[in-house]
Chains A and B, each alone.
Chain A
Amino acid sequence: MAASKSNALNWFLHRITGTFLIFMLITHFWVQHYDHQVASVTHEVVTEKGAMPDYPDAAKEGVKAKFGPDAEATPYQVVMQRLADPVYAVLWKGFNILFLIVALHHGFYGLNNVLTDYIRNPMGRLVARSLSWTVALGLFIIGLYSVITAGW
């Protein structure tokens, strides 16, 4: 079967995607958590219903500069700030699509390795493999849609 013949390639790819993911995750974490202007997750606990996290001044000013003096720094607007510039929008969307593909391949190939270790029946393996890659494909389509349409 073609799938079992290409296992060496997948084994190799798993290490390549893993190495790539380290660098992509550093970028992803930096943008989402540590950049004072564009991080949509702030270091604040919110317990009240309907309350929004408070953003740093850099984020508030950034949102006002892009969307006018009345614009509020809500999580959505903070993300939109990054996509407001067409050049950055294309860069971020490209980065996130690549990130999505690499993460899904790495995660679901790894999951299949685990499943193959515990499922011994060949039919069971085939079912598990088909199901998990179907889920991965579904997530790819959902993720791709979210990335492309974000900010429209």
Chain B
Amino acid sequence: MAVDTQDRPAATAAENESTATQDSRFQRYRVRTGMFAWLMHRLTGVGLVVYLVIHIWGLKSLSDPETFNALIAKYHSPLFKVGEFALLVAVAYHAMNGLRIVLIDFLGWSPKQKRLFVTLGAVTVLIILVGGWPSIYALGEWLFGPGTMPSLFL
């Protein structure tokens, strides 16, 4: 991911030496934009697999109306509403960064990668704000009282 470009030249020999001689299980990476994007992709990815496991397991309750109603009611508790928003952030980031990887790998958009990065970053923020509004609205109504939040498009 950490591609050397003209405005970001290759690391100096001294820097390379410090990373080449370590022998621990985990690499000590030089964190740059591309590396940060990769690291976040990995962290959100693992988080989403954990969520997927819980989600599929929870849906077993569809076989019993009472259990399912209780589960969905629990999903509306404040803590779950915050979690719902965090889930959207993770999904939006992972999806848009994944799309960036696909466009670079399949369509050869690496020369355009700076513009691609900024554009998809803006789209991600938009998805989080518009898609996350129901959760923010719900939490606001609960914290500050009914009618205090603008319902906007809801």
Contact = CB atoms under 8 A, between A and B. Distances in A.
Contacts, number: 108
A150 to B, nearest CB: 5
Contact size class for A?
35 or more
Q: Looking at chain B's contact residues, is the secondary structure mostly helix, strand, loop, or mixed?
A: helix
B134 A33 contact: yes
A139 B137 contact: no
Contacts of A104: 52
B49 A76 contact: no
A124 to B, nearest CB: 12
Contacts of A76: 62, 65, 68-69, 72
A97 interface: no
Contacts of A149: 62-63
B126 interface: no
A18 B154 CA distance: 29
Interface of A: 15, 18-19, 21-22, 25, 29, 33-34, 40-47, 50-53, 74-77, 79, 100, 103-104, 107-108, 110-111, 114, 118, 120, 135, 139, 142-143, 145-146, 149-150
